[in-house]
Amino acid sequence: MLQDAAPITVPDGASAMTIHVVWEPGDPGTPPHRHSGPAFGYVIEGAVRFELEGEPERIIEAGGTFWEPGGDAIHYQDGNALDDARTEFVVTMLCAPGKPMLELVDEEELKQRAHLRAPRPTA
């Protein structure tokens, strides 16, 4: 077993999309965003810098998995954790009907929800 995620909530009438993502070295990935349903991923090559609202930032290396619950939770980071190699992963996302698969979060909302973000690593 690669991943066991529970509990999950799947929106009624959800659709699913699986995508293959390739980040070049040092690519910061997608800006803070959310998905309307859960997302499940597998890192094929490299390492993903991954951070969900309320959880500390972590690095997921090749062969590792990740998931996010979707809904209201903000996904802060999903970029390449490596400066000298590319990173590839596949992710299957479940989407509520009539909602975009990915919704960017604006700066105002990030400020309002800053208290929900886990402490940042210190340099």
* pLDDT tens-digit map of 25-70: 999 999 999 999 999 999 999 999 999 999 999 999 999 999 999 9
What pLDDT, on a 0 to 100 scale, did the predictor assign at position 123? 61
What pTM was estimated for this model as a whole?
0.89
Pair 71, 93: CB distance under 8 Å? no
**What is the pLDDT confidence band of residue 10, given thresholds at 50, 70 and 90?**
confident
Spatial CA neighbour of 24 closest among 78, 68, 86, 76: 86
Average pLDDT over residues 84-109: 95
Residue 84 pLDDT greater than 90, yes or no: yes
State the DSSP string of 11-41: -TT-EEEEEEEEE-TT---SPSEE-SS-EEE
